[in-house]
């Protein structure tokens, strides 16, 4: 199969393990993440060939991120390294149970935050028919005007070349106010094939988290895609596919450790399974297994399962234990 292309900014992540405010902490652990990068790793672990398009600085953190991606089997030939900008970074408190961690971004000078990245190589890959699917999130559009314009071009090219585009809204209020996210969706809805969002995002954007009601509002914005999925954390997820409503429960976990990255992993599980055999129930089940692994371990992507692990659960192993 042709690879999936994901694009979006990677970040060096400095996590403070304690609970006092960032301003009084002195120790951080180095990690890395980024919604699209997480999904790329999730796909690679499920044996789906994946190309990640992005940019990092030609600096120690950029090298660290590239090395980790390569170790995960993600194809990085579309990751630009530039000496003109530093790699984007984020500092955060380790997340408490079900609460979003306090974060501080340092990405306005980064290659995608400053508008250095133009995505030309990714565009070429789409136009020349090298990739079979494109996945990204709304975060990418909020980094800079030029990154937003480059992202527009990529999804337009995908649409023109009949490459499906899956898109997770992934609202980050620190990056832009809710109105800006709303306008983005209104503008790009016609180019998208699949939409993912969290239930609270659906509520904030569409004043409802009912999947059918959301889909109707999306259709009024010009969305003509194949379906949309609302993620509901421990309550599972619901999807509407070609008019049909499908529901999946969360997969049982013994202990919730860190919920960050669950949504990105869920997307990877869904994509991997859906691309293989077009079976929505199965795809949602695989997605929730990956989400369950993600919440059972610390870090964004480190806990994502392999294909063999997913298959053991599909064959009847009924709980994720870590
Ligand atoms: P984020 O962007 O913070 O990762 P999201 O809104 O995209 O969040 P969630 O709904 O939080 O995603 O989680 C995605 C999926 O992960 C859920 O649909 C569910 O399958 C799984 N999941 C999340 N929380 C739990 C949990 N406590 N137990 C089991 N599975 C969970």
CA 288 to ligand 1: nearest atom = 20
Distance (Å, whole) CA 64 – CA 110: 15
Distance (Å, whole) CA 34 – CA 88: 10
CB atoms within 10 A of CB 233: 17
Distance (Å, whole) CA 234 – CA 250: 6
pLDDT score of 60: 98
Domains of the chain: 4-314 (3.40.1190.20)
Residues 242-263: pLDDT tens digits?
A: 889 999 999 999 999 888 899 9
CB atoms within 10 A of CB 37: 27
Nearest to 167 by CA among 259, 263, 281: 263
Distance (Å, whole) CA 286 – CA 314: 8
Distance (Å, whole) CA 166 – CA 267: 9
Ligand 1 binding pocket includes 250 (Cβ within 6 Å) = yes
pLDDT score of 32: 97
pLDDT score of 99: 55
DSSP at 228: E
Give percent of the chain with pLDDT exceeding 70: 97
pLDDT score of 98: 45
Residues of the chain with pLDDT under 50: 97-98
For 119, the 3-state DSSP assignment is: coil
CA 294 to ligand 1: nearest atom = 16
Residues 20-73: pLDDT tens digits?
A: 777 888 889 999 999 999 999 999 999 999 999 999 999 999 999 999 999 999
Count of CA atoms in the C-beta half-sphere (13 A) of 322: 19
Ligand 1 binding pocket includes 143 (Cβ within 6 Å) = no
Nearest to 231 by CA among 263, 277, 184, 269: 263
Ligand 1 binding pocket includes 295 (Cβ within 6 Å) = yes
CA 320 to ligand 1: nearest atom = 29
């Amino acid at each position: 199969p042709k690879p999936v292309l994901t694009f979006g900014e990677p970040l060096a992540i400095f996590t403070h393990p304690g609970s006092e405010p960032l301003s009084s902490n002195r120790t951080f652990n180095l990690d890395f993440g980024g919604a699209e990068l997480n999904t790329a790793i999730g796909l690679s672990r499920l044996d789906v060939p994946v190309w990640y398009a992005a940019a990092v600085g030609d600096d120690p953190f950029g090298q660290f991120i590239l090395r980790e991606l390569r170790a995960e089997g993600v194809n990085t030939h579309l990751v630009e390294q530039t000496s003109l900008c530093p790699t984007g970074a984020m500092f955060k408190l380790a997340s408490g149970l079900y609460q979003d961690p306090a974060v501080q971004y340092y990405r306005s000078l980064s290659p995608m935050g400053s508008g250095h990245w133009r995505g030309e190589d990714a565009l070429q890959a789409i136009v020349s028919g090298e990739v079979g699917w494109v996945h990204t999130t709304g975060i990418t559009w909020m980094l800079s005007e030029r990154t937003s314009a480059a992202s527009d071009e990529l999804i337009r090219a995908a649409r023109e070349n009949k490459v499906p585009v899956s898109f997770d809204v992934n609202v980050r209020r620190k990056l832009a106010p809710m109105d800006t996210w709303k306008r983005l969706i209104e503008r790009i809805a016609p180019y998208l094939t699949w939409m993912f969002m969290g239930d609270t995002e659906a509520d904030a954007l569409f004043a409802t988290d009912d999947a059918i009601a959301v889909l109707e509002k999306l259709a009024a914005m010009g969305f003509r895609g194949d379906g949309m999925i609302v993620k509901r954390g421990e309550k599972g997820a619901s999807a509407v596919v070609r008019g049909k409503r499908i529901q999946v429960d969360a997969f049982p976990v013994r202990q919730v450790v860190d919920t960050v990255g669950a949504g990105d992993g869920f997307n990877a599980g869904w994509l991997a399974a859906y691309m293989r055999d077009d079976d929505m129930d199965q795809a949602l089940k695989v997605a929730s297994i990956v989400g369950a692994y993600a919440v059972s371990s610390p870090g964004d992507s480190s806990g994502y399962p392999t294909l063999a692990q997913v298959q053991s659960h599909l064959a009847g192993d009924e709980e994720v234990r870590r």
